[in-house]
Amino acid sequence: MRLLLIEDNADLAGLLAQRLAPRGLDLDVAHTGEEGLAMIELVAYAAVLLDLGLPDLDGLEVLRRLRRVSSVPVLVLTARGDERSVVRGLRGGADDYVVKPVRLRELLARIEAVHRRVPADGQPASPVVQVADVSVDLRARTVRVADRPVELTTKEFEVLAVLARRPGAAVSRQQIMDEVWGDAYLAVSRSLDVHMTSLRAKLDRPELVSTIRGFGYRLG
Ligand code: CA
């Protein structure tokens, strides 16, 4: 099983790599957020271990960008007592978290648990989600309705992508705002309405995205 560790502390990374290897876990290490995001594009990892304190990007920002292209299980590594980050990490698409200092046995158990919850290679079967005659290509970031391309703005696409990664499931407004706007979400509640309205108009399929009153939205 091949894992990616995004962690700037080289000593910790080296130690983990050394201790996971005998257990059949190959650990690739990225020392910055940008490096980690580039590696995720290239390799289908079984899981990603993500440190939140990185030199270039906030770990939660890395998580947000990662979730736009991949459904790989993510375990957040966090400092003790950093409860707010953990909650936001889990809401932003992390599958679980491990508090530092990392205890090997706990880490192994959690890797195994998140790995069991997803398909074999940790990637969705296809990055193209088809609902009725609307297809959303999450990797190419394109949308076709009745086989004709529809031009969406970046934010409109991201709102749609949050729903398309969970077709048929209710997704809360909070979740959409967390994934698309991150830290700024408190200011954008109105903005989500605006994007949703124009997204629906462009897709021209009124029944495709349903509003779940007092909660959020569902695709399909
Ligand atoms: Ca760090």
pLDDT at 204: 92
CA of 97 to the centre of ligand 1 (A): 15
Q: CA 186, 196, 190: angle at the middle one, nearest 5? A: 30
On average, the pLDDT of the chain sits at: 85
Q: Reply yes or no on whether the pLDDT at 80 is more than 90.
A: no
Rounded percentage of the chain residues whose pLDDT exceeds 70: 91
CA of 9 to the centre of ligand 1 (A): 6
CA separation for the pair 38, 121 (Å, rounded): 18
List % helix, strand, coil for the chain (3-state, nearest 5).
45, 25, 30
Selection from 184, 145, 75, 4 nearest residue 176 by Cα: 184
Question: Within 10 Å of residue 148's Cβ, how many Cβ atoms?
Answer: 9
CA of 28 to the centre of ligand 1 (A): 16
Q: Are 122 and 45 in contact (CB under 8 A)?
A: yes
Arithmetic mean of pLDDT, 61-90: 83
CA of 69 to the centre of ligand 1 (A): 23
CA of 32 to the centre of ligand 1 (A): 9
Q: Reply yes or no on whether the pLDDT at 3 is more than 90.
A: yes
CA of 202 to the centre of ligand 1 (A): 42
Query: Which comes out higher in pLDDT, residue 84 or 142?
Result: 142
CA of 47 to the centre of ligand 1 (A): 18
Q: CA 64, 75, 173: angle at the middle one, nearest 5? A: 40
pLDDT at 120: 45
pLDDT at 188: 64
CA of 55 to the centre of ligand 1 (A): 7
pLDDT at 121: 43
CA of 158 to the centre of ligand 1 (A): 28
Arithmetic mean of pLDDT, 13-23: 92
As a dihedral over the C-alpha atoms of residue 22, residue 14, residue 123, residue 93, rounded to 10 degrees, the angle is: 130
Arithmetic mean of pLDDT, 200-204: 92
Q: Reply yes or no on whether the pLDDT at 118 is more than 80.
A: no
Which DSSP symbol is given to 204? T
